[in-house]
Structure 1
Amino acid sequence: MACFIQITDTHVVAPGALVCGQSDTATALQRAIATINAKRPRLGDVDCVIVTGDLTDHGTPEEYAHFSALMGALDLPWLAVPGNHDQRDAMRTAFLGEPWMPDGGPIHWVRNFGPFSVIGLDTLLEGAHHGDLAPEGLAFLDAALTQMGDQPAIVATHHPWMHAGIPAMDADNLRNGATLMKRLEAHPAPVRMISGHVHRSVTGQIGRVTCQIAPATCHAVLTDHRAGHDPQLILEPGGITVCRWIADPGPGLVSDIIPTGTYPGPWSFAD
């Protein structure tokens, strides 16, 4: 059974620093990695970890070096797309030796898992909080979907197109998502879009495309559905998302959100 783990919005800063003076994102990422490593024996074969953007908070070489050092403890290979807090050139320089990193241009890639493929799309519009998929990205997507034929597709982006109901975050989603969605709707096989950016677990349906936003490894964005309120940080537990292809009764992709950290248990139901 093909399986990958999604993590998102790690927001790593310089060693010893806190995001907004409150969030220890390095410790949060260490906790997520420890959770993944500890749970792997019970998860079966996991192919890799996909990081859906905002690897760092400011996109500096120092932050990418810190992120890379932390990820060195992960017992799995990983690949990533940038988010609005990343800097494309600095990210490319930091990870140029990785097989998924293109030599130039936007950071797009495709990974074939057998029963499905994941298409990673770069939605970073440098200098803006919202996302945009450039014409080159749409062309990359078209070529990848054509190559896949009738294989199911998972599209991984930082910015979601689906609204989460938090106005301050919805204003900064993927601005040309309708153009993307038109292409996904036309794909002959099932399609799912997985994203980050909102720091919360949110799932919805747009047409025939399932849209899923994953929780961050670090702080969450406060759920506040009122208009005119700025987003606020809250120190809720981080999470990882285990995405596994299951044959019955589907076949299809099943996602399980697991909180990071250690908790009491497990105990047998018979106890």
Structure 2
Amino acid sequence: MPSFLQITDTHIVADGTLAYGRSDTAAALERAVETINARLPLLGGVECAIVTGDLTDHGSEEEYDRFKAIMSRLQLPYLAIPGNHDLRGPMRVAFAGEDWMPMQGPIQWRRDIGALTVIGLDTLLEGAHYGHLSDAGFAFLDSTLSSLGPRPAVIATHHPWMLSGIDAMDQDNLRNGARLIERLQAHPGPVRMISGHVHRAITGQIGKVTCQIGPAPCHAVHLDHRRQAENALILEPGAVTVYCQPATQPGLLISDLLPVGSFAGPWPFFP
């Protein structure tokens, strides 16, 4: 059963510091890597991990080196796209040896996984918290989708287009996402958009496009739907997302959450 994982919003900071003075993001990513490695024999067919942005908190060389050191223990290859806390130049240097990293321009790529294709898009607009897909990004998307025919597509972005209900985060989503959704609606095959940024597990539907936001392994954005509520973090349990394609139902893509950590069990229901 071909599958892949989504890891998002790791926000790695310099050694000896905490993100926002409270969140030990490096320890959270270490636990996530340990959790994934321990579960891989049970998941079967996991081909890679997709990291949907905000790898670091400030985009520094030291933070990328620390991210890579922790992720080097992951028993899977991984691909990444930038988020608003990343910087394209240092990220390109950090991953210059990876086959998915372009030498210039937006950090975008294609990965075929089983019966579907994942298209990673760069929505970083440096200096802004909100997302923007460039003309080069749209050109890459159009070219890749046109080559797929009816093949299922998964579009990976850092910034979501759908609303989360958290006002402060929704103000910083993908500003030109309507243009993106128009293109996805026109794709002849099944299509899904997976994103990060909100640090919560959220699912919505825009026309034919299933939209999912993945949780972070570290802190979450506080769930507060009141208008103009203060944007805040909360140290809820972290998680990563598992996507898999059942062989008996072609075109179906299912998702599940893998909580970060170790837990009591499993025990048979009827010992």
Shorter-chain TM-score category? Answer: over 0.9
Which residues of 2 match residues 223-234 of structure 1 at below 5 A?
223-234=223-234
Which residues of 2 match residues 21-36 of structure 1 at below 5 A?
21-36=21-36
The residue number in structure 2 matching 1:197 is 197
Q: 2: distance between equivalents of 1:2 and 1:144?
A: 21
Code of the aligned partner of 1:155: I
Q: CA-to-partner distance for each residue in 1:105-150, whole Å, 9 max, x for gaps?
A: 1001000113000000000000000000011100000000011111
In the alignment, structure 1 residue 41 sits paired with structure 2 residue 41:
yes
Which residues of 2 match residues 61-100 of structure 1 at below 5 A?
61-100=61-100
The residue number in structure 2 matching 1:10 is 10
Q: 1: distance between equivalents of 2:114 and 2:8?
A: 24
Q: CA-to-partner distance for each residue in 1:229-255, whole Å, 9 max, x for gaps?
A: 221010001101010011344531000
Select between 90-99 and 246-255 the one with higher mean Cα deviation: 246-255
Q: CA-to-partner distance for each residue in 1:73-95, whole Å, 9 max, x for gaps?
A: 10110010000000000000000
The residue number in structure 1 matching 2:243 is 243
Q: Percent identity of the aligned residues?
A: 62
Q: CA-to-partner distance for each residue in 1:2-25, whole Å, 9 max, x for gaps?
A: 210000000000012101111000
Q: CA-to-partner distance for each residue in 1:172-214, whole Å, 9 max, x for gaps?
A: 0000000000000000000000000000000000000000000
The residue number in structure 2 matching 1:177 is 177
Deviating above 4 A after TM superposition, structure 1's stretches of 4 or more consecutive aligned residues are: none
The residue number in structure 2 matching 1:265 is 265
Q: 1: distance between equivalents of 2:135 and 2:41?
A: 42
The residue number in structure 2 matching 1:222 is 222
TM-score, structure 1 as length reference:
0.99
Q: 2: distance between equivalents of 1:247 and 1:227?
A: 44
Q: 1: distance between equivalents of 2:208 and 2:246?
A: 19
Structure 2 portions without partners, runs of 5+? none
TM-score, structure 2 as length reference:
0.99
Q: CA RMSD in A?
A: 0.8
The residue number in structure 2 matching 1:208 is 208
The residue number in structure 2 matching 1:136 is 136
Whether contact under 8 Å (2:32, 2:261) holds in the other structure is yes
Code of the aligned partner of 1:183: R
